[in-house]
Amino acid sequence: MKDYCRYSDQELSAFLRAGDDAAFNAIYKKYWDKLLVVAGKRLGDFQEAEEVMQDIFLNLWLRREDFSLRISFDNYFAVAVKFQVIQQAC
């Protein structure tokens, strides 16, 4: 069994592209809480923030085969949350 905490974001991204659901779970566990707080503060509604986060992670999983991480998951999720919050506001 792999210890996904030891892998870099680039390695996790490669596992994700290969359809490794355990890598997806590791990414989810690592980033969910932090991103939920950010989205909740921006939206002013934590229930709406949960929906935003679910959409972000669902889209990540659905696009996993074509997913390409350029910098880091911190950067990727920061942009994704910003985009989704803007979409929610419209």
Helix (H, G, I), strand (E, B) or coil at 71: coil
Which tens digits make up the pLDDT trace of 29-78?
A: 999 999 999 999 998 999 999 999 999 999 999 999 999 999 999 999 99
Q: What pTM value is reported for the model?
A: 0.88
2, 3, 20, 79 from 75: Cα distances, Å: 25, 23, 21, 6
Note down the domain range covering 19. 4-89
* CATH number, position 44: 1.10.1740.10
* Token pair in block for residue 7: 């892998």
In the chain, the number of structural domains is 1
* Token pair in block for residue 70: 């350029």
Which tens digits make up the pLDDT trace of 16-25?
A: 999 999 999 9
d(CA 74, CA 61): 17
pLDDT at 85: 84
Quick one: which of 85, 84, 27 has its CA closest to 61? Answer: 27
Helix (H, G, I), strand (E, B) or coil at 39: helix
